[in-house]
Structure 1
Amino acid sequence: MKIAILSDIHANIWALEAVLADIKQQGTDLTVNAGDILSGPLAPGATADLLMSLALPTIAGNHERQLLACGTKAGHPTDQFAYENTTQAQRDWIQGLPGTLDVAENIFMCHGTPASDLLYFLETVDLHGCRMAPASQIEAYAAGVSQQLIICGHSHKPRACALSGGRMVVNPGSVGLQAYDDDQPYFHVIENGSPHARYAICTQDALGWRVSHQCVNYDHHKAAAEAARNGRADWASWLLTGRAAL
């Protein structure tokens, strides 16, 4: 089995189209989407239309929940923009997405961890910033998940981590945003060093799962210009460089 994994598209239609074109050339059996789909100062409506037409196995991330909450109370500008630039039908689609998914008998997908869409599965954050989580923490998050391939997203960091019992946790990185900063639970930055769109291909063979992290060129200047037009100079910089300037 050969599966393409998308996550953290964040309304970047230009990156998504480039990644989908690349996947088509790879001859995969299945494409899945691990959440954080529409929130971002880019093209939430067009991104929703494309993904709804594809009907990929898809889960909700924390930004799906936060987008929908904007219907009752103004939210973070990133989520509020997406809420105001999507239709009710698109928000209904988001509302219907599960938080986790058994993709196949041997594949489990969550956005953050199986228990929380706000925790990084493979990273830890403290006063010193963000780094790879210790093995004991990752094992604890994966407790109770028996599937051999565990898919996560949320941190935008492409990683693969081997666990006990021959299991593998894979974060494909972000399709749509290669850098950002956050103040929860402590201030930290995420940066991948280039504007390329990221996704992963996992192939099952006799020895287990083989992971290939993909790095795809796209017209990131268009995405950055759209972010700037929508008043988000921070996003424009992140999209142009893949770095989060301090």
Structure 2
Amino acid sequence: MRIAVLSDIHGNRTAFEAVLADLREVSPDLILHGGDLAHGGSAPAEIVDCIRDLGRQGVVGNTDEMLVMPESLEEFASEMPHLQRLFSVIREMADVTREALGEERLAWLGALPRSQILTPMALVHACPESLWRAPALEAGDEELESVYGVLGQPVAVYAHIHRSYIRKLARVTIVNTGSVSLSYDGDPRAAYLLLNDFNPEIRRVEYDVNREIQALVGCGLPHADWIGKTLQNGRFQMP
């Protein structure tokens, strides 16, 4: 069985369409999403509608939760007063994204589950206990086994950190999907996970980053220049 997992689309229609074209060639049996569908791109409503129309199963991400429950961002932000400039920018963007989505799409996002179990695989956005915190790429084996071993599956898949990797441990294989949009690993291409009989492969898909930046500038999203720089550089930077 071949399963594709797309995560962290962040409203980036250009990257999403390129990944869909790649998926048509790969032709997996099942496509899942790992959350963070709408916030931070030029086409939040279009992405949500497409995922729904295609009937894709998936999980809720932290920015999905933030759009539905703004207090979740405030709770997270309260723990990091030194990043208030960043959180202020995110709030402004979220307000515009909520308006673009409307109540019905927001309700759909809010109803997404926190995990998907398809034995022998488990999928979460960040970790089983939190949508906002997840082990980094540099995390040790012991930490990864402690966090994801509780899922009780031989393969544990998560997203959130925008840096893909595959780590085969003694009792569980940990896989990060990477991100369709806003890559943080220095490679601006879209990334997604393909599981071939539960053997993981990270696929990278080139797309027209400049086209998406032009769409960002034209859509009225605040701080589009910040998002554009991240898309071009493939690395996180402060606004």
For the criterion TM > 0.5, the same-fold answer is yes
In structure 1, stretches of 5+ residues that fail to align are: 124-130, 179-190
Name 2:83's counterpart in structure 1: none
Q: What is the CA deviation profile of residues 192-221 of structure 1, one whole-angstrom value per residue up to 9, with x for unaligned ones?
A: 2232111111112xxxx4221111111211
Worse-matched range after superposition: 235-244 or 28-37:
235-244
Matches within 5 A, 1:78-97: 78-97=93-112
State whether residues 40 and 81 of structure 1, in contact with CA within 8 Å, keep that contact through their aligned partners in structure 2: no
What CA distance in whole angstroms lies between the structure 1 residues aligned with 2:140 and 2:93? 31
SS at match of 1:101: strand
Q: Higher strand share goes to which structure?
A: 1
What CA distance in whole angstroms lies between the structure 2 residues aligned with 1:8 and 1:171? 11
Q: What is the CA deviation profile of residues 30-52 of structure 1, one whole-angstrom value per residue up to 9, with x for unaligned ones?
A: 11101111111421011111111
Are 1:177 and 2:182 counterparts? yes
Q: Which residue of the other structure, out of 189, 193, 200, is the alignment partner of 2:193?
A: 200
Between the two proteins, the alignment pairs up a number of residues equal to 220
What CA distance in whole angstroms lies between the structure 2 residues aligned with 1:86 and 1:31? 23
SS at match of 1:213: strand
State whether residues 182 and 235 of structure 2, in contact with CA within 8 Å, keep that contact through their aligned partners in structure 1: no
Tell me the TM-score normalized by structure 1: 0.83
Higher RCO structure, 1 or 2 (CA under 8 Å, sep 6+) = 2
Name 1:188's counterpart in structure 2: none
Matches within 5 A, 1:20-99: 20-70=20-70, 76-99=91-114
CA RMSD of aligned residues (A): 2.1
Name 1:186's counterpart in structure 2: none
Tell me the TM-score normalized by structure 2: 0.85
Q: Which amino acid aligns with 1:134?
A: G
- Amino-acid identity (%): 26
Name 2:235's counterpart in structure 1: 243
What CA distance in whole angstroms lies between the structure 2 residues aligned with 1:194 and 1:112? 21
In structure 2, stretches of 5+ residues that fail to align are: 75-87
1:223: how far off? 1.5
Q: Higher helix share goes to which structure?
A: 2
